[in-house]
């Protein structure tokens, strides 16, 4: 207990900072909205590989000639890879052959010297379902966690943990609204993983708070919480560091498709680390958690003794 | 103190060996292979195998092995070039008898295979291929059923000799008109007796007109939908088999959707055409008396006739009565017409169809018969074309041929669709994901490097930060990776790119348990406890924390699994497996190693942590 940083002393400041962050994230989300990916909006994307740097203007012209003037054409990763996007067409019948038509045009224009890398077509009804299911999944996950933590600790801890999670999710999603990085299915998975990760962090701190409430008879709840956060601080930082190490590796080496997934997790881990230090315990304290709420009742002792 | 009983070490060693054993098949490369199945109803035999062997030897195409298993012939080659050469050879020489598919066969040695140890399946994003999601048009299925009931109503009333004015269908509701109330009551009784199970039938007079209205019960509608889905899956399965795809996946998803995954398929245009198409044939007599051009111009078609178009655009009048429909076709094969050398489809009818057809053709010898090709496009448009008109030379029966197709490819596709049977209801593509082979390969490489680099970075960090204990954690981390791979292989789970991301993430998080324990040990040491006591306390105190933290992460993974589709499920599976196996390696195994190093040394002064 050498390094004692007065985390809880700055809790008012932290609360203000968090509130500002969450509110501005919400503001950005409502103002700019998310740049939903194909999975959610529906539409068609086609990734094509060329043998030499591709001429986007030429491709656009070729596509316009073929009746696809509204296609968005851009480089993907390198100048030899081209990504073509088409918004879903309302009321058009046979959409399934769209990708084949486009590939046909491009292949014809370049004497067949292209390579199909990837085609994704998602019908608009699928996208709509995913948006709903995704939101539901998030709520289910939070609910399941709420129940488990309430069962293992106490309801105020449970609510604080969920507040911290909502905080992390909102800021991470807000980041995506701010940067307009594409929000696709893998990002949603990453956000759910952030929930798991951040909770992991929070639980470790709570666990120590519970232990110290029982062990240290002197001191206020605030002091004990501060001690607990300090005790778990190096663990929190080391784990975040190792996780960030692999995420950075994933970001730089995992390829274009996994980029936004890695970004979501990197943001989420950083925010999650902050929230498990400043937000979760803070919220629990504000809700009036006291030593008496966690008097040993023998049930948990048994579990703790298993090696 | 800090000693494990022998059985714990035995457990660690045994699980490690089992893990290594089942992870092992993933290290063997895959052989380029050719998979042959019979295109007809006959089963492949040793003779087929010998014939193919002879053929390959003749062209001196070297193969690694050839084996006959589950009615499939699998030929392994040393390199993809020979594989491709053999593929075109078999297609040319024996194309009509076999369906050939290019495949990558795992080169797992026999002794591993006998233990049921197999490599993981690679997802489409890693090996290339196409994923389709098809939605069955359930409204069309119900409408079709109503049409059938309409015919049945008429037949029932006719059989019961009850006079009626007409049976009409509107908005999935049937209404029967009667001349008087007496007939209506009799009709109601007759129809109720027959259709009470599936329909709600009641009298609903409109003004003075005696009327019966009938609509399907909810249970009957659900039954129709279930049946349509099942029927479509069955014919999709047949069609996919006909396409020659190795290891396809065809699965129901939800109430009205079907997932089709075709690894290695690149020609998605053809795949879409074959999967979504509903092509069938009808045989009708030509009305030789009437003038089709006049009918086309005036728009007045003689009663009992219908106006069609031939392929060259000419109009033609055919009799309304159908002689034969495609349902009676049991087999169809494409080939060459012996007389004019054009493409032809050889058709075999079932017993009932043969009787019907021989009677109908006997009555019409020397008259013109037309073959109508009917195709329902995925958007519901119906295309009907007369592909062939020929004079009936003699009575036709079980086997005959039709000609008039544009090219051999068309003949082949038609034969395929006739063989595979019609779809119960049209389907629409609502999702497609195609990954080219080059991207698949790149994805594997990227996944592999990012796992390796991330892994090495974490290992280095742990070794530097926690010294000996860090190295112990590294051993556990490596073992964890082996276990994840072994578990995925045992479950025959499919590895996808998000799945790899799940593994990477697990690697980062798996060390968390060790970090918790080691930090705790450090704390205990700082508090002045002896090294041995610190080790014991560290592991004991950290346990419940680790348990709580991991269970909550598991909850999140479980939610991901239940809600997610394909790739997201893969991510959730690897994440969950990683969490579970990390509990074992990070706590149980590291403790075992730590005990081996430090246990039983009561005078231990310092720990390298």
- Give the CATH number of the domain where residue A99 resides: 3.30.70.3400
| Residue of A97, A196, A253 with shortest CB distance to B272 | A97
pLDDT-derived band at A172 (thresholds 50, 70, 90) equals: very high
> Do residue A166 and residue A298 come from a single domain?
yes
Query: How far apart are alpha carbons B461 and B508 in whole angstroms?
Result: 11
Q: Do B423 and B231 meet the contact criterion of CB atoms below 8 Å apart?
A: yes
Taking the Cβ of residue A247 and every Cβ of chain B, the question of whether any pair is shorter than 8 Å is answered with yes
In a domain, A307, yes or no: no
Nearest by Cα to B505 from A248, A20, A88: A248
**Domain boundaries, position A51:** 43-122
The pLDDT of A207-211, averaged and rounded, is: 89
Interchain proximity B501–A192, CB inside 8 Å: no
Distance CA A225, CA B89 (A): 76
**Domain-embedded: residue A26:** yes
Task: Output the pLDDT for position A19.
Answer: 94
Within an 8 Å CB–CB cutoff, is residue A257 touching chain B?
Answer: yes
Does A1 reside within a domain? Answer: no
Integer Cα distance of A244 and A265 in angstroms: 9
Give the nearest partner residue to B548 out of A152, A247, A305, using CB atoms: A152
Q: Name every chain A residue with its beta carbon within 8 A of the beta carbon of B431.
A: 121-123, 126
Q: Which of B434, B447, B546, B567 to mutate to test the interface with A (most CBs of A within 10 A)?
A: B434
User: Residue A299: which pLDDT band, with cuts at 50, 70 and 90?
Assistant: very low
Domain end point (choices A122, A140, A160) = A122
- Comparing CA positions, the residue from B196, B202, B179, B187 lying closest to residue B155 is B187
User: Do A167 and A102 share a structural domain?
Assistant: no
Query: Which among B272, B454, B497 has the least Cβ separation from residue A249?
Result: B454
For chains A and B, CB pairs below 8 A equal: 244
- A232 neighbourhood in chain B, CB within 8 Å: 519
Do A233 and B586 contact (CB within 8 A), yes or no?
Answer: no
Residue A176 has pLDDT above 90, yes or no: yes
pLDDT at A170 over 70: yes
CATH 3.30.70.260 domain range(s) in chain B: 30-107
* Inter-chain touch A118–B439, beta carbons under 8 Å: yes
Both A118 and A130 in a single domain?
no
Same domain, A116 and A260: no
**Residues forming CATH 1.20.1640.10 domain(s) in chain B:** 6-24+436-598
**pLDDT in the model for residue A302:** 44
The answer to whether B105 and B76 are in contact (CB under 8 A) is yes
Residues of A in contact with B504 (CB under 8 A): 246-247, 249-250, 254
- The domain boundary, picked from A122, A139, A174, lies at A122
B266/A116 touch (CB, cutoff 8 Å), yes or no: yes
Helices B218-243 and B268-276, interaxial angle, to 10°? 140
Cβ distance of A300 and B519 shorter than 8 Å: no
Q: What are the 10-residue block averages of pLDDT along chain B, 609 residues in total?
A: 85 93 88 78 77 86 83 84 84 73 81 86 84 88 83 84 86 88 89 88 84 90 89 84 81 88 81 76 85 83 84 85 78 81 84 85 87 71 80 82 78 78 78 84 85 89 93 93 91 82 76 91 91 91 86 81 72 86 90 89 81
DSSP states along B447-474:
HHHHHHHHHHHHHHHHHHHHHHHHHHHH
A68 lies in the same domain as A131: no
Which option is the CATH number for B30-107: 3.40.50.300, 3.40.640.10, 3.30.70.260, 3.50.50.60? 3.30.70.260
Same domain, A183 and A270: yes
Q: What confidence tier does A307 reach under pLDDT thresholds 50, 70, 90?
A: very low
Q: Under an 8 A CB cutoff, do B431 and A126 touch?
A: yes
Q: What is the domain class of B277-431 according to CATH?
A: alpha beta
Query: What is the C-alpha separation between B336 and B345, in angstroms, rounded?
Result: 8
Count the alpha carbons within 13 Å of B346 in the hemisphere toward its beta carbon.
Answer: 9
Tens digit of each residue's pLDDT (9 = 90 or more) over A24-60: 999 999 999 999 888 888 888 888 988 888 888 888 9
pLDDT of residue A23: 96
Mean pLDDT over each residue of chain A, to the nearest integer:
84
Please tell me the total count of domains within chain A: 2
Q: What residues in B contact A245, CB-CB < 8 Å?
A: 454, 457-458, 461, 508
- The answer on pLDDT for A171 being more than 90 is yes
The β-bridge partners of B373 are: B281, B385
B187 CB-contact burial (10 Å; exposed 0-12 / middle 13-18 / buried 19+): buried
Among the candidates A122, A148, A172, a domain finishes at: A122
Give contacts of A126 with chain B, Cβ < 8 Å.
133, 430-431
Residue A90 has pLDDT above 60, yes or no: no
Element (H, E) at A148: helix A124-152
- Mutation site, B442, B563, B565, B570, interface A, largest A CB count within 10 A: B563
Contact at 8 Å (CB) between B98 and B36?
yes
CA distance B484 to B23: 8
For domain B6-24+436-598, the question of CATH label 1.25.10.10 is answered with no
Report how far apart the first and last C-alpha atoms of chain A are (Å, whole number). 24
Q: CATH code at A16?
A: 1.20.1640.10
Based on the fold, state whether residues A177 and A116 are members of the same structural domain. Answer: no
Q: State whether residue A38 sits within 8 Å of chain B by CB.
A: no
pLDDT of residue A3: 56
Tokens 């997932």: give the residue: B259
**Does the residue A2 lie in any domain?**
no
Task: Indicate if the pLDDT at residue A300 is higher than 60.
Answer: no
Query: How far apart (Å, rounded) are the C-alpha atoms in residues B574 and B484?
Result: 7
- Residue A3 located in a structural domain: no
Q: Give the helix/strand (H/E) hosting B278.
A: strand B278-286
Distance CA A107, CA A104 (A): 5
CA distance A129 to chain B (A): 11
The partner residues of B36 in beta bridges, in order of sequence, read: B73, B100
Q: For residue B464, what are its two tokens?
A: 């530097």
Residue A29 distance to chain B (closest CA, Å):
23
Tokens of A68: 């696809």
Beta bridge partners of B325: B282
Residue burial A181-208, b: 16+ Cβ < 10 Å; e: rest: bbbbbbbbbbbbbbbbbbbbbbbbbbbb
Residues 6+ apart with CB under 8 A from A276: A164, A198, A201, A202, A204, A205, A236
Within an 8 Å CB–CB cutoff, is residue A185 touching chain B? yes
Residues A165 and A200 both lie in one domain: yes
Inter-chain residue contact A126 with B430, CB threshold 8 Å: yes
E strands within A178-268? none
User: Does A250 contact chain B (CB < 8 Å)?
Assistant: yes
Query: Taking Cα atoms as reference points, which of B235, B200, B206, B190 lies closest to residue B220?
Result: B200
Structure tokens at B41: 């109803």
Q: Are A160 and A15 in contact (CB under 8 A)?
A: no
Rounded to 5°, the CA angle B517-B520-B521 comes to 90
The per-residue pLDDT for A290 is 76
Determine which of A192, A212, A269, A296 to mutate to test the interface with B (most B C-beta atoms within 10 Å).
A192
Q: Name which of B269, B458, B539 is nearest A100 (Cβ-Cβ).
A: B269
Q: Are residues A54 and A28 in the same domain?
A: no
CB atoms A199 and B571 under 8 Å = no
Mutate which: B262, B430, B467, vs A, most A CBs within 10 A: B430
Q: Is B131 helix (H, G, I), strand (E, B) or coil?
A: strand
Looking at the domain covering B139-222, what would its CATH class be? Answer: alpha beta
CA–CA separation, B514 vs B144, rounded Å? 63
Does residue A31 sit in the same domain as residue A89? no
Distance, CA of A74 to CA of A84 (rounded, Å)? 7
Residues A213, A294: contact at Cβ < 8 Å? yes
Contacts of A253 in chain B (CB under 8 A): 446, 449-450, 453
Distance to chain B for A76, nearest Cα, Å: 13
Is residue A298's pLDDT more than 60? no
- CA dist B187 and B211 (Å) reads 10
Give A 48-107 residues with CB within 8 A of chain B.
49, 93-97, 99-100
Say whether A200 and B550 touch across the interface (CB within 8 A). yes
* pLDDT given at position B381: 66
Verify that A132 and A261 share a domain, yes or no. Answer: yes
Interface predicted TM-score (ipTM) of this complex, two decimals = 0.84
A131 and A65 housed in the same domain: no
| Every domain range in chain B assigned CATH 3.30.1360.200 | 277-431
Torsion (CA) A246, A248, A249, A251 in degrees, nearest 10: 120
A236 domain-assigned: yes
Does some domain include residue A135? yes
């Amino acid at each position: 207990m050498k390094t004692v940083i007065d985390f809880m002393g700055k809790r008012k400041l932290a609360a203000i900072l968090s509130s500002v962050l969450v509110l501005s994230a919400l503001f950005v989300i409502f103002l700019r909205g998310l740049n939903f990916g194909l999975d959610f909006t529906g539409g068609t994307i086609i990734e094509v590989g060329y043998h030499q740097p591709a001429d986007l203007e030429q491709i656009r012209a070729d596509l316009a000639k073929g009746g696809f003037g509204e296609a968005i054409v851009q480089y993907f990763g390198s100048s030899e890879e081209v990504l073509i996007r088409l918004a879903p067409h309302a009321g058009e019948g046979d959409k399934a052959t769209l990708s084949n038509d486009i590939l046909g045009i491009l292949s014809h224009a370049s004497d067949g010297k292209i390579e199909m890398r990837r085609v994704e077509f998602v019908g608009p009804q699928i996208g709509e379902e995913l948006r709903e299911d995704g939101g539901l999944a998030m709520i289910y996950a939070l609910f399941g966690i709420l129940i488990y933590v309430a069962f293992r600790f106490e309801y105020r801890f449970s609510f604080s943990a969920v507040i911290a999670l909502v905080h992390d999710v909102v800021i991470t999603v807000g980041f995506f609204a701010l940067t307009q990085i594409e929000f696709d299915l893998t990002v949603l998975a990453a956000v759910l993983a952030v929930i798991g990760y951040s909770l992991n962090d929070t639980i470790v701190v709570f666990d120590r708070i519970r232990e110290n409430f029982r062990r240290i008879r002197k001191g206020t709840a605030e002091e004990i919480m501060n001690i607990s956060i300090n005790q778990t601080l190096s663990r929190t930082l080391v784990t975040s560091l190792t996780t960030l190490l692999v995420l950075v590796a994933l970001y730089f080496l995992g390829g274009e498709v996994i980029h936004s997934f890695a970004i979501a997790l990197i943001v989420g881990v950083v925010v999650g680390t902050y929230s498990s230090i400043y937000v979760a315990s803070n919220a629990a304290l504000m809700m009036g958690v006291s030593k008496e709420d966690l008097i040993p009742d023998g049930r948990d002792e048994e579990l703790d003794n298993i090696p | 103190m800090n000693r494990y009983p022998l059985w714990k070490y035995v457990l660690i060693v045994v699980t490690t060996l089992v893990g290594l054993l089942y992870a092992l098949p993933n290290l063997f490369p895959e052989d380029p292979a050719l998979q042959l199945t019979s295109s007809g109803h006959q089963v492949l035999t040793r003779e087929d195998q010998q014939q193919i062997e002879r053929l390959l030897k003749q062209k001196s195409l070297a193969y690694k092995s050839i084996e006959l298993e589950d009615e499939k012939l699998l030929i392994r080659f040393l390199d993809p070039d020979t594989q491709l050469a053999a593929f075109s050879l078999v297609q040319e020489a024996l194309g009509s008898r076999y369906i050939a598919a290019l495949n990558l066969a795992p080169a797992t040695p026999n002794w591993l295979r006998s233990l049921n140890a197999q490599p993981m399946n690679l997802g489409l994003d890693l090996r290339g291929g196409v994923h389709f999601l098809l939605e069955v048009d359930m409204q069309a299925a119900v409408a079709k059923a109503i049409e059938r009931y309409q015919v049945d109503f008429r037949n029932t009333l006719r059989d019961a000799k009850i006079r009626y004015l007409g049976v009409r269908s509107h908005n999935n509701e049937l209404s029967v008109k009667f001349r008087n109330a007496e007939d209506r009551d009799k009709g109601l009784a007759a129809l109720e007796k027959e259709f009470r199970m599936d329909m709600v039938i009641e009298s609903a007079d409109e003004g003075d007109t005696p009327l019966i209205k009938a609509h399907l019960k909810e249970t009957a509608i659900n039954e129709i939908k279930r049946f349509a889905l099942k029927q479509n899956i069955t014919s999709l399965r047949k069609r996919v088999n006909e396409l020659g795809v190795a290891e396809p996946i065809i699965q129901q998803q939800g109430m009205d959707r079907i997932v089709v995954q075709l690894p290695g398929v690149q020609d998605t245009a053809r795949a879409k055409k074959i999967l979504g198409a509903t092509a069938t044939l009808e045989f009708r007599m030509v009305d030789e008396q009437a003038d089709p051009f006049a009918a086309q111009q005036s728009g007045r078609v003689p009663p009992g006739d219908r106006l069609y178009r031939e392929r060259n655009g000419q109009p033609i009048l055919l009799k309304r009565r159908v002689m034969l429909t495609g349902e009676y076709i049991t087999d169809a094969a494409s080939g060459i017409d012996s007389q004019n050398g054009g493409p032809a489809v050889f058709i075999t009818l079932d017993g009932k169809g043969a009787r019907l057809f021989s009677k109908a053709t006997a009555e019409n010898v020397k008259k013109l018969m037309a073959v109508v090709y009917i195709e329902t496009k995925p958007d519901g448009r119906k295309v009907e074309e007369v592909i062939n008109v020929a004079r009936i030379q003699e009575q036709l029966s079980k086997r005959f041929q039709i000609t008039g197709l544009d090219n051999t490819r068309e003949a082949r596709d038609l034969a395929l669709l006739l063989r595979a049977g019609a779809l119960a209801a049209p389907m629409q593509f609502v999702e497609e994901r195609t990954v080219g082979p080059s991207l698949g390969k790149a994805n594997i490489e990227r996944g592999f490097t990012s796992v390796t680099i991330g892994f090495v970075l974490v290992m280095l960090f742990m070794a530097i930060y926690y010294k000996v204990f860090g190295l112990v954690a590294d051993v556990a981390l490596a073992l964890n990776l082996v276990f994840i791979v072994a578990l995925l292989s045992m479950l025959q789970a499919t590895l996808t790119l998000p799945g790899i991301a799940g593994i990477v993430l697990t690697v980062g998080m798996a060390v968390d348990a060790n970090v918790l324990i080691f930090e705790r040990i450090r704390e205990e040491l700082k508090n002045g406890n002896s090294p041995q006591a610190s080790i014991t306390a560290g592991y004991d105190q950290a346990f419940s924390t680790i348990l709580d933290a991991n269970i909550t992460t598991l909850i999140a993974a479980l939610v991901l699994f239940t809600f997610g589709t394909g790739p997201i499920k893969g991510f959730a599976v690897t994440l969950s497996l990683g969490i579970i196996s990390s509990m074992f390696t990070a706590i149980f195994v590291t403790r075992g190693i730590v005990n081996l190093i430090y246990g039983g040394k009561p005078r231990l002064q310092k720990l390298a942590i």
